[in-house]
Amino acid sequence: EEGNLARLEIRKGEEKDNEKVFATIKKMPFPLQNREFVVKLIWSRSPKNVTVALISVNDTVDYGESMGSKVRGKTAALFTATNIKNDSEMYQVNRCKIRMLQFMDAGGHIPARVVNKKIPESLSIIGVLSNSFKRDDKIDKAAMEKLASIIKNVPQVYNDDEVISIQKGIEFHEKCKEVKHFDELESPDDKVEMKLVHVDGESLVTAVATTVIDASVEECAAFIYNDVGSRETLAKIGERKDGLLESIVEEINQHSQYYFSTRSVGVALIQHRQNRSIFTWKKEADGKVVVVLSDTEKLQDKYPIKKGTIVVAAISVWVFESQKAIGEIQQTKATYTTRIDFKGSIPTSIINNIAPTFLSASSTLRQKFDKSKEIDSHNRTELAKRIRVEEIGGATLAATITFGNLSKERKGQQTMESDLGKFWMKVEKRGNIWGKSVVDVRESMERTTAFFWDINSRVNVATGGKNDKVLDDRENMFQKSITREELLEGHLKGFQHTGKFTSTMKLARISKDSVVITVQSLEQEERGRKKIPRLSRMPTTNQTSFTAGEKTAIQFTRIGEKETRVEMASELELGKRVSRNSAKQSLKKNLSKTTKAAFYFNNLLKDEELNEGDGKVMGIHMMQRVQERAMGNNRERNASLFIKENKALRELAEKYVFFEPMLCAAVKSKLQAHQKVPGRAEGLEELDGRKIGGSLAIVLATTLTGKHAIDEWSLQFPAVQEILKNHLWLRPMLEEMTFKLMKEVRWGVKSRVATGAFTSMLDVFTDLYITHTFFNDKDQYGYFQASLASLCVSIGVQLLIIFVNYRKIGWKRVAREMFPVIIGYKPAVDAYRVASGRSVEKGQLFNPVMEMQFMKCSEMFAEGIPGVIIQLMAIATKVADKKEIAVGSWVSLVVSAISTGFISASVSYDLDTNPKKRQQTPDFYGYVPPETSKRTTVFVAMMFFSAGMLLIRCTTIVLLGLLGNRWAFAYIAADLGLYLIVKTLRADFWWWLPLGGNLEIVSSILARIVTKVITDFTSIVHLRHPFELGGIYWTFSFVLTMGSLPAAIKIFEGRKGDRQVVHLSWTILYILLPSTLFMFGLFFTFINKKFINTFVSFERGMDRSIRGYKESQGDSEKAFFLFTISKNHWISIENEAHTWVEDNWLRWQKEQPKWLDENIRAKIPEEWIPSSAERNKELLRRAGAKRVTLLQKGENLRQRGRRKITIR
* Residue 1200, pLDDT score: 46
8 A C-beta contact, residue 448 and residue 564: yes
Q: What count of residues does the chain have? A: 1208
* Residue 38, pLDDT score: 92
The distance in angstroms from the start CA to the end CA of the chain is 75
8 A C-beta contact, residue 311 and residue 296: no
User: Residues with Cβ < 8 Å from 1038, sequence gap 6 or more?
Assistant: 949, 1019, 1080
8 A C-beta contact, residue 576 and residue 585: no
* Residue 746, pLDDT score: 54
* Angstrom distance (rounded) from CA 325 to CA 583: 41
Res. 1048 pLDDT band, cuts 50 70 90:
very high
Return the ∠ at Cα 541 (arms to 538 and 542), rounded to 5°.
105
Checking if the pLDDT of 1174 tops 90, the result is no
For 306, other C-beta atoms within 10 Å of its C-beta total 11
Checking if the pLDDT of 1206 tops 50, the result is no
* Residue 712, pLDDT score: 82
CA distances from 1079 to 909, 918, 1089, 1141 (A): 16, 25, 16, 47
Res. 200 pLDDT band, cuts 50 70 90:
very low
**823 SS3 class:** helix
Sign of the torsion angle spanned by Cα atoms 160, 163, 165, 167: negative
For 1201, other C-beta atoms within 10 Å of its C-beta total 7
* Residue 1092, pLDDT score: 93
* Residue 534, pLDDT score: 43
Checking if the pLDDT of 483 tops 70, the result is yes
8 A C-beta contact, residue 2 and residue 22: no
20-34, 754-768, 935-949, 1000-1014: least confidently modelled range: 754-768
Contacts 24+ apart (CB under 8 A), 278-281: 278/165, 278/252, 279/225, 279/228, 279/249, 280/158, 280/162, 280/165, 280/166, 280/255, 280/256, 281/151, 281/221, 281/225, 281/255
Q: Which of 182, 177, 215, 211 is nearest to 196 (CA)?
A: 182
Res. 3 pLDDT band, cuts 50 70 90:
low
User: Residues with Cβ < 8 Å from 762, sequence gap 6 or more?
Assistant: 895, 899
**685 SS3 class:** coil
Instruction: Point out which residues pair with 278 in neighbouring strands.
Output: 258, 294
* Angstrom distance (rounded) from CA 137 to CA 134: 9
- Average pLDDT on 988-1009 reads 87
* Angstrom distance (rounded) from CA 1164 to CA 34: 69
Q: How confident is the model over 124-182, as pLDDT tens digits?
A: 777 777 777 778 888 888 899 999 999 999 999 999 999 999 999 999 888 888 777 77
**1042 SS3 class:** helix
* Angstrom distance (rounded) from CA 611 to CA 632: 33
* Angstrom distance (rounded) from CA 1117 to CA 1109: 7
**Helical spans, DSSP H, in 627-658:** 635-645, 647-655
* Angstrom distance (rounded) from CA 663 to CA 643: 9
Checking if the pLDDT of 539 tops 80, the result is no
41 sits in which H/E element: strand 34-45
Residue 74 backbone dihedrals phi, psi, to 5 degrees? -125, 150
**924 SS3 class:** coil
* Residue 760, pLDDT score: 64
User: Residues with Cβ < 8 Å from 888, sequence gap 6 or more?
Assistant: 769, 770, 773
Checking if the pLDDT of 495 tops 60, the result is yes
Q: How confident is the model over 962-972, as pLDDT tens digits?
A: 888 889 899 99
8 A C-beta contact, residue 813 and residue 929: no
Q: How confident is the model over 394-447, as pLDDT tens digits?
A: 678 888 888 998 999 888 888 887 778 889 999 887 778 999 999 999 999 999
**913 SS3 class:** coil
Res. 355 pLDDT band, cuts 50 70 90:
low
8 A C-beta contact, residue 499 and residue 574: yes
Q: Which of 1093, 714, 1105 is nearest to 924 (CA)?
A: 1093
Which amino acid, 887?
A: V
- Average pLDDT on 756-780 reads 74
Q: Which of 883, 743, 950, 843 is nearest to 1189 (CA)?
A: 843
Q: Which of 604, 597, 559, 590 is nearest to 449 (CA)?
A: 597
Instruction: Point out which residues pair with 41 in neighbouring strands.
Output: 20, 54
* Residue 354, pLDDT score: 63
Res. 915 pLDDT band, cuts 50 70 90:
confident
User: Residues with Cβ < 8 Å from 429, sequence gap 6 or more?
Assistant: none
Looking at per-residue pLDDT, the higher value among 19 and 544 belongs to 19
CA distances from 368 to 92, 216, 227, 376, 675 (A): 20, 13, 11, 17, 38
8 A C-beta contact, residue 826 and residue 820: yes
The three-state DSSP-derived secondary structure of 391-459 is CCCCHHHHHHHHHHHHHCCCCCCEEECCCCCEEEEEEEECCEEEEEEEEEECCCHHHHHHHHHCCCCHH
* Angstrom distance (rounded) from CA 933 to CA 935: 6
318 sits in which H/E element: strand 313-326
8 A C-beta contact, residue 1007 and residue 993: yes
Q: How confident is the model over 790-845, as pLDDT tens digits?
A: 888 888 888 988 888 888 788 888 888 888 888 777 877 777 777 666 777 767 77
Checking if the pLDDT of 990 tops 70, the result is yes
* Residue 464, pLDDT score: 67
Q: What is the pTM of this model?
A: 0.72
Res. 291 pLDDT band, cuts 50 70 90:
very high
The mean pLDDT value of the chain amounts to 84
Q: How confident is the model over 506-529, as pLDDT tens digits?
A: 999 988 899 999 999 876 555 444
CB neighbour class for 11 (10 Å; exposed up to 12, middle 13-18, buried from 19): exposed
* Angstrom distance (rounded) from CA 323 to CA 338: 23
For 960, other C-beta atoms within 10 Å of its C-beta total 22
Instruction: For residue 490, give the DSSP letter.
Output: B
Res. 865 pLDDT band, cuts 50 70 90:
confident
- Average pLDDT on 741-766 reads 64
User: Residues with Cβ < 8 Å from 508, sequence gap 6 or more?
Assistant: 393, 395, 396, 398, 399, 400, 478, 515, 516, 518
* Residue 93, pLDDT score: 72
Return the axis-axis angle of helices 686-694 and 659-668, rounded to nearest 10°: 30
Q: What percent helix, strand, coil does the chain show, rounded to 5?
A: 55, 20, 25
Query: Which of the given ranges, 345-359, 665-679, 981-995, has the highest pLDDT on average?
Result: 981-995
Instruction: For residue 838, give the DSSP letter.
Output: P
User: Residues with Cβ < 8 Å from 813, sequence gap 6 or more?
Assistant: 806
* Angstrom distance (rounded) from CA 1208 to CA 565: 33
Which amino acid, 1003?
A: S
User: Residues with Cβ < 8 Å from 1044, sequence gap 6 or more?
Assistant: 952, 953, 956, 971
Checking if the pLDDT of 598 tops 70, the result is yes
